[in-house]
Amino acid sequence: MYLDKLFINTKVVIDYKVSILGFTDIHCHIIPTVDDGAQSMEQAQEMIRIAYAGDTRRIIATPHYGTSRAKASAGIIVTRFRELLRWTKDNYPEMELFLGQELSYRHGLDEQLKRGAAFSMADSHYALVEFQPDDEYSRIRQGLQAVQMAGYWPILAHAERCQRLAANIDYIEELVHMGIYIQINAKSVTGENGWQCKSCTKKLLKRELVHFVASDGHDTKKRIPSIQKAIFQISSRYGKKYALKLSVVNPGKVIADEFIE
């Protein structure tokens, strides 16, 4: 069966025929000097090394959009992404990089996506959308619906950080039933983002309301680009099949622009 998967020496094996040598991280601020992530090309290169050492083999770079943390135009983002991509191909040929953005929701985001001012994920129908921690559920729901109505498949970034959602998991279940995809941060799974985030992610994982685990990596010290520890914990507690779905199968569908059932 396609979904008969195993961890073997931190490698993923599917059907004992196709070997995927690592995880896919769909949320990472690795492009240098475009937001509050990597602050130099050297730091971005070190983040690539860290990700590779943690068995990540695909990264969607997601610089901020629509917030004060965004520091560069679309043209500069593309230029610096290509520079990092060239270095990565020369030094880590097994690592693949793709371009997306973490889109801070505001009115008109749907139109900005349509005209290419804001980037979808790896040029797919998927869009990674974030909200402020204290946003009301009605704003989150309506904003995601607006992106959806524009023809995109929204991924809610680090849902566990949204206070109204963390306080009422039924809200997240409602979003999932609407066709919204849920991303959580690896450090929330391991408890490094505090007990509230850990408690929320535990509830979400138990109810299988999560579609992606990502690093939300920003640097080489406190917010590193690695999901390995979290994925192993999920594998141990909730099963290998689910862990691989969150770190390999679903992210692969984003890159392939395939719909996740």
pLDDT number for residue 21: 67
**Tokens 């850990």 identify what position?**
198
Does 159 have pLDDT greater than 70? yes
Per-residue pLDDT band at 12 (split at 50, 70, 90): very low
Q: Model confidence over 170-224: pLDDT tens digits?
A: 999 999 999 999 999 999 999 999 999 999 999 999 999 999 999 999 999 999 9
pLDDT number for residue 6: 38
**Contact call for residues 169 and 200 (beta carbons, < 8 A):** yes
Strand order in the sheet with 153-156: 64-65, 102-104, 126-130, 153-156, 181-185, 212-214
Backbone torsion region of residue 84, taken as left when φ is above 0, otherwise alpha when ψ lies between -120 and 50, otherwise beta: alpha
Give the closest residue to 37 by CA, choosing from 189, 222, 249, 258: 222
pLDDT number for residue 204: 98
Residues in the chain: 261
**Distance between CA atoms of 66 and 48, rounded to whole angstroms?**
25
Contacting residues for 160 by C-beta, under 8 A, at least 6 apart: 166, 184, 185, 188, 193, 197, 200, 201, 204
Q: How many CB atoms lie within 10 A of CB 43?
A: 18
Q: Model confidence over 13-64: pLDDT tens digits?
A: 443 333 456 999 999 999 999 999 999 999 999 999 999 999 999 999 999 9
Q: Model confidence over 93-145: pLDDT tens digits?
A: 999 999 999 999 999 999 999 999 999 999 999 999 999 999 999 999 999 99
pLDDT number for residue 124: 98
Question: What is the model's pTM?
Answer: 0.92
Cα angle 224, 43, 89 (rounded to 5 degrees) comes to 95
Task: Please count the CA atoms within 13 angstroms of the CA of 226 that sit on its side-chain side.
Answer: 20
Per-residue pLDDT band at 7 (split at 50, 70, 90): very low
Distances (CA, A) of 80 to 23, 33, 35, 77, 197: 24, 8, 12, 5, 33
Distances (CA, A) of 64 to 30, 77, 198: 11, 10, 24
**Tokens 């965004």 identify what position?**
70
Contacting residues for 261 by C-beta, under 8 A, at least 6 apart: none
Average pLDDT for 69-92 = 97
pLDDT number for residue 207: 98
